[in-house]
Amino acid sequence: MTQDVRQTTAPPVPPGRRPADHRKNSQAPHQAVQTGVQTVNAATVGQPDKFGVKATRNLLESYHERIQQMIPNGVQLTAERLINNAILQMELSRDRKVLLCTPVSILYSVMAAASVGLDLMGDQAYLVAMSKKNPRSGEHEYYYATLWPDYKGLCTVAARSGWYLDSQIVREKDQFAIDVGTNQIQHQVGFGERGELIGVYCAVRQMTTGKIFHIETMNRQEIDAMKKETDPWLLHYEKMAKKCTAKAAFNWVPRDRYDIRVMGTIEKRIDEGRELDRQMLGQRVENG
């Protein structure tokens, strides 16, 4: 039995934040209303059964078998664990907008996590709420979830193909040099205060030989130019700085595995501000 998960509406206001007069709001289903906390779609105010934790769990459970089939062979991960951790992130996330995300966007994020074999915990990957804006007016329409791979998640996927991403922070008092001709790195650090972050590098090493295939570097100015006003950047600047170089270095990992190709597509969608969908996941969804 197949389901069309692409038909969805915008998310509701969480319990305790709904306007008192639902009928009044429902007269303008495509206009935004101000609740005093954040702007949401008025069309969803009277439909709490289609959004939130319960509705999202029901949708994820209905795709349990398909999610399990998408996990790469040899990866110690189950659909049940992915679903439970997705719900746990919704309930415990510091960003409460995750509760307002459309269930179908969470479904595709979980499917993406399954496809690349990353759990939604332990610095592997996270659910992050993004605002969908009207292309003409620029106004907020609804929240959708996207899979946000962590630096360690990129390392995990690369390691399955025999490549190691070694990302390190360089500080003011460090001794650092790269021999471009031989791809040799000299990075010496001492005890005590090392100073402010001045740059980050990521070496792509072949695990069997230890040989460095490529070195990606970014200075502080280049990192700040990529910084966004999102919770991951505001709360974890140095981790996101390491991810910037790791993501750039990840492009040098051979695309001979499906999970690596999907990871590249996920990162591209994040950069473009686009939602994850069925098309992105390819044949594993269509044939699931």
The Cα–Cα gap between 192 and 92 comes to 36
The Cα–Cα gap between 62 and 58 comes to 6
| Residue 29 pLDDT | 32
| Residue 49 pLDDT | 58
| Residue 282 pLDDT | 60
* Closest residue by Cα to residue 105 from 288, 284, 277: 277
How confident is the chain (288 residues) per 10-residue block, as mean pLDDT? Answer: 44 42 37 39 46 92 96 94 96 87 95 95 88 89 92 92 94 94 92 95 94 95 89 85 92 88 88 85 51
Residues 6 or more apart in contact with residue 134 via CB below 8 angstroms: 140, 141
pTM of model > 0.85: no
| Residue 41 pLDDT | 39
- b/e per residue, 35-64, with b = 16+ CB within 10 A? beebebbbbbbbbbebbbeebbbebbeebe
The Cα–Cα gap between 42 and 140 comes to 12
| Residue 273 pLDDT | 84
By the 8 A CB rule, do 158 and 165 touch?
A: yes
- Strands 212-219 and 197-206, by their bridges, are antiparallel
Q: Where are the domains of the chain?
A: 22-151+262-286, 162-253
| Residue 59 pLDDT | 95
Task: Count the Cβ atoms, other than its own, within 10 Å of residue 209.
Answer: 9
By the 8 A CB rule, do 150 and 125 touch?
A: yes
